[in-house]
Amino acid sequence: MEFNSRRIRVNDIELNVVVEGEGPDVLLLHGFPDDHAVWRRQIPALVAAGYRVIAPDTRGCGASEIAPDVRGYAIDQLVADLVALLDALGVGKARVVGHDWGAIQGWQLAIRHPERVERLVALSVGHPNAYARAGLVQKLRGYYVLLIQLRGLMEFLSTRSDFRMLRRLAGCQEEFPRWKALLSRPGRLTAGFNYYRANVRLLFAADYPAVRVPVVGAWSSGDRFLVERQMTNSGRYCAAGWRYERLDGPDHWLQLSAPGEVNALLLKHLA
């Protein structure tokens, strides 16, 4: 499905941004190894419900430009991109929905710039403090974060035998042809890995302040990368309201494997 997109320069980089519909603004933030298309089953539902959807390919992803080095993917820069994007589109405050790395960015945007976030819906990934304190099982499930630190070697291993390692790690066969096409382009796999390389502390530190906007956290029982407690315990760090939604069955990419449930959840909690 094709959506209306435009090129918007923010800070030092040009982003590809889907903008569809009219009404209150909903900012959709994808994770790795995705781009805006991971929201293809949510965008029409949100537009039909009377929202304006803003779905960027974050830096280095999709059709957006690649930052020149690892430092260009530090969380400070990622959040600055989001603020600059809202400014460029004349958005004072948005409803924010994030998945995977998009959820991480959404939490940080809400922590650092609560005046720009009307409310946050975090899919799969909880508050950074809750993630860091989620215990040994969560650390073991995140083993790939440490492997990705092996620069060059992980790029080499990931692309061998038709991206076999990445295919097996992700486990989402529906999306694999899209991921392969996205990441086969020069520099794109490294750009995705650089999110993890530039923000290792973010995944393990537990000294972030509480969020002062209303938050809904959703986790799916088929998620092979994240334990439930890193989401349920996020309520301890939400000072302006917290709701938890558990989806039984869907995998990590719940917006694709359970679009009806996710759409109903979004329409319920964004209203």
The sign one gets for the Cα dihedral 201, 214, 100, 67 is negative
Asked about 12 being catalytic, the answer comes back as no
Work out the mean pLDDT of the chain and round it to a whole number. 95
Q: Which CATH architecture has domain 5-270?
A: 3-Layer(aba) Sandwich (3.40)
Catalytic residue among 36, 99, 127, 252: 252
Instruction: Give the largest CA-CA distance in the chain.
Output: 49
pLDDT at residue 203, rounded to an integer: 77
- The mean pLDDT value for 129-136 works out to 94
Catalytic residue among 51, 196, 208, 237: 196
Asked about 25 being catalytic, the answer comes back as no
* Angle subtended at Cα 252 by Cα 263 and Cα 143, rounded to the nearest 5 degrees: 155
The position carrying tokens 């099982």 is 137
Smallest CA-to-CA distance from 182 within 75, 69, 82, 66 is with 66
Residue 159 to residue 165: CA distance in whole angstroms: 7
Q: Convert the pLDDT of each residue in 27-60 to its tens digit.
A: 999 999 999 999 999 999 999 999 999 999 999 9
Kindly list the domain boundaries of the chain, sorted by start residue: 5-270
Q: How confident is the model at residue 202 (pLDDT cuts 50, 70, 90)?
A: confident
Using CB atoms within 10 Å of the CB of residue 60, give its burial: 0 to 12 exposed, 13 to 18 middle, 19+ buried. buried
pLDDT at residue 166, rounded to an integer: 81
Q: Convert the pLDDT of each residue in 153-198 to its tens digit.
A: 999 988 888 888 888 777 777 788 899 999 999 999 999 999 999 9
Catalytic residue among 35, 57, 81, 100: 100
- The mean pLDDT value for 242-254 works out to 97
- The mean pLDDT value for 209-218 works out to 98
Instruction: Say if residues 26 and 46 touch (Cβ distance below 8 Å).
Output: yes
- The mean pLDDT value for 134-159 works out to 92
Instruction: Say if residues 16 and 10 touch (Cβ distance below 8 Å).
Output: no
Residue 266 to residue 270: CA distance in whole angstroms: 6
Residue % of the chain over a pLDDT of 90: 86
Asked about 100 being catalytic, the answer comes back as yes
Instruction: Say if residues 253 and 172 touch (Cβ distance below 8 Å).
Output: yes
Is 0.75 surpassed by the pTM of this model? yes
